[in-house]
Amino acid sequence: MAAFTELVVASLQPVLERLFVEPVVQRLQQISDGIENSNYLVVVSAQGLRGRIISGLPDLAGLQCSAGPVPLIVTIVEMLDRSQLDPIVKHVALMANAGLPVPGMFADELGESVFTHAGKPLMVVPMLEGRVLQADEVQPGHCRAAGSFLGALHSLTLDLGEQDRVERGFSWTLQALDRCQAWVEPEHGVELKRIHARLSAVVSDLEALPMSWTHGDLFIDNALFRGDEQATSAQPPVQLSGIIDFYRSGPDSAALDLAIAANDWCWDGTQLLPDRIAALFDGYESHRSLTTEEKALWPELLGFAAARFYAARMLSLHTASYQRQAADADPSAASVLKDPSAMLLRMTTALFPD
């Protein structure tokens, strides 16, 4: 996640002093990956915890800061205000307390885990072991692990009661696709109209599907894996060590959340691979069975999942978004603008496979 907002030790120190005993920053480094928030790797030495850590990972829940330097991820949240962030914090804590593999967060002695920097929310989370897989490393076992996490999350939070859907819901996606017509070539405009018509025809059916708390962005780069002792260095790591980046999470269609993951984890560049889809479903349904309606609407769910990210990327590219402004100000930051074309191919493949 690129750093849109600057962070220096002097401004971070008061936050760290609420979390640790005698903290000393040994390293503060911008993390340049990603497109939405400002993230920094911070290494701190301290005499102990002043507050506490909320985590579903046993190694982190028992963290002893006095044992050595502690690596942290400090996130300045760019696109959410405090009122929007509070429900996310609540549900990440719920996941952590249920033992799901999430990094959780550091909280001070009063239980506060959201701080403020430059008028924006700031959070401090432990850095997890493991690494992000490369796309060509993904195997069915990795897809099974991703599906298992989503199944566990959705099963835990399926009964949400009356809650508003996430901002980028089905209606938002259709309206955003309409806006995209102004920025595409004529042949793609015809394709978008065809996609829009297909999705519009089923939107009421999709909105009737079961809702849960969703991750909303479980791409390959939001999961960390580590190897086991028997693995060779040439083998990709196989053990899921944690799921990260919940800043797009919220109440939404459970099956759509699974489709968002499928469009990345199971995609080989031209198609969805059946063995990966089967593994993703197997992991998911070990916790929650998909309904008959969710299975019947799977192609449209895949189409909507791709359409959401296509539209979001087009808006970032063609409007005065903070990503667009960052890229214009610094050409080296152009990676914050993701290519929408890959999502257009996914939409077409899902909805019109022939």
Q: Is position 292 within any domain?
A: yes
Is residue 65 scored above 80 in pLDDT? no
Residue 52 pLDDT level (bands cut at 50, 70, 90): confident
Q: How far apart are CA 26 and CA 320, in angstroms?
A: 37
Arithmetic mean of pLDDT, 11-40: 90
Are residues 189 and 121 part of one domain? no
What's the distance, Cα to Cα, between the start and end of the chain in Å? 37
Q: Is position 213 within any domain?
A: yes
Q: What is the pLDDT of residue 54?
A: 79
Q: Is position 4 within any domain?
A: no
Is residue 340 scored above 60 in pLDDT? yes
Element (H, E) at 126: strand 120-126
Final residue belonging to a domain, choices 75, 100, 126:
126
Amino acid at 98: A
**Average pLDDT of every residue of the chain:** 88
| Rounded alpha-carbon distances, angstroms, from residue 131 to 49, 223, 239, 263 | 26, 8, 10, 20
Residue 62 pLDDT level (bands cut at 50, 70, 90): low
Q: What is the pLDDT of residue 328?
A: 45
Q: Please answer whether residues 7 and 76 qualify as being in contact, where contact means their C-beta atoms are separated by less than 8 angstroms.
A: yes
Element (H, E) at 302: helix 298-318
Are residues 251 and 142 part of one domain? yes
Among 49-58, 234-243, 255-264, 321-330, the least confident range:
321-330
Q: How far apart are CA 36 and CA 264, in angstroms?
A: 18
Final residue belonging to a domain, choices 126, 143, 163:
126
Q: What is the pLDDT of residue 186?
A: 85
Are residues 307 and 161 part of one domain? yes
Q: Please answer whether residues 32 and 145 qualify as being in contact, where contact means their C-beta atoms are separated by less than 8 angstroms.
A: no
Q: Which of 89-98, 121-130, 144-153 has the highest mean pLDDT?
A: 144-153
Q: What is the pLDDT of residue 86?
A: 93
Are residues 113 and 140 part of one domain? no
Q: What is the CATH number of the domain that holds 170?
A: 3.90.1200.10
Q: How far apart are CA 106 and CA 124, in angstroms?
A: 6
Arithmetic mean of pLDDT, 160-166: 74
Q: Which domain holds residue 80?
A: 9-126
Is residue 106 scored above 80 in pLDDT? yes
Are residues 209 and 317 part of one domain? yes
Arithmetic mean of pLDDT, 210-218: 97
Q: Is position 216 within any domain?
A: yes
**What is the torsional sign of CA 289, 290, 295, 298?**
negative
Q: Is position 58 within any domain?
A: yes
Arithmetic mean of pLDDT, 31-45: 85
Arithmetic mean of pLDDT, 27-42: 86
Is residue 229 scored above 60 in pLDDT? no
- Mapped onto helix, strand or coil, the DSSP state of residue 153 is helix
Question: CB under 8 Å to 3, separation ≥6 — which residues?
Answer: 30, 31, 32, 38, 39, 40, 76
Q: What is the CATH number of the domain that holds 17?
A: 3.30.200.20
Among 48-57, 226-235, 300-309, 339-348, the least confident range:
226-235
- Mapped onto helix, strand or coil, the DSSP state of residue 115 is strand
Is residue 1 scored above 50 in pLDDT? no
Q: Please answer whether residues 310 and 344 qualify as being in contact, where contact means their C-beta atoms are separated by less than 8 angstroms.
A: yes
Arithmetic mean of pLDDT, 37-57: 86
Residue 161 pLDDT level (bands cut at 50, 70, 90): low
Q: What is the pLDDT of residue 206?
A: 97
Residue 17 pLDDT level (bands cut at 50, 70, 90): very high
**What is the torsional sign of CA 61, 64, 68, 71?**
positive
> What pLDDT digit, counting tens, does each position of 293-322 carry?
999 999 999 999 999 999 999 998 888 554
Is residue 56 scored above 90 in pLDDT? no
Q: What percentage of residues in the chain have a pLDDT greater than 90?
A: 70
The single residue listed with the structure tokens 């005499």 is 47
Arithmetic mean of pLDDT, 44-62: 75
State the total domains in the chain. 2
**What is the torsional sign of CA 106, 112, 117, 118?**
positive
Q: Is position 287 within any domain?
A: yes
Q: What is the pLDDT of residue 333?
A: 45
Q: Is position 240 within any domain?
A: yes
Q: How far apart are CA 119 and CA 115, in angstroms?
A: 10
The single residue listed with the structure tokens 């199971």 is 266
Is residue 87 scored above 70 in pLDDT? yes
Q: Is position 1 within any domain?
A: no
Amino acid at 293: E
Q: How far apart are CA 146 and CA 223, in angstroms?
A: 8
Q: What is the pLDDT of residue 334?
A: 42
Q: Please answer whether residues 297 and 304 qualify as being in contact, where contact means their C-beta atoms are separated by less than 8 angstroms.
A: no
Residue with the bigger pLDDT between 35 and 236: it is 236
Its pTM stands at: 0.89
Is residue 225 scored above 70 in pLDDT? yes
Are residues 86 and 235 part of one domain? no
| Rounded alpha-carbon distances, angstroms, from residue 312 to 160, 190, 199, 266, 305 | 26, 19, 17, 21, 11
Arithmetic mean of pLDDT, 55-61: 60
Element (H, E) at 41: strand 38-45
Are residues 204 and 60 part of one domain? no
Q: How far apart are CA 49 and CA 108, in angstroms?
A: 9
The single residue listed with the structure tokens 């903070």 is 322
- Mapped onto helix, strand or coil, the DSSP state of residue 162 is coil
Are residues 168 and 54 part of one domain? no
Listed residue (262, 218, 266, 267) closest to 240, CA to CA: 218
Q: How far apart are CA 263 and CA 74, in angstroms?
A: 29
> What pLDDT digit, counting tens, does each position of 315-333 carry?
988 885 545 554 444 454 4
Are residues 314 and 174 part of one domain? yes
DSSP 336: G
Are residues 303 and 261 part of one domain? yes
Is residue 148 scored above 90 in pLDDT? yes
Burial class from Cβ neighbours inside 10 Å (0-12, 13-18, 19+) for residue 8 reads exposed
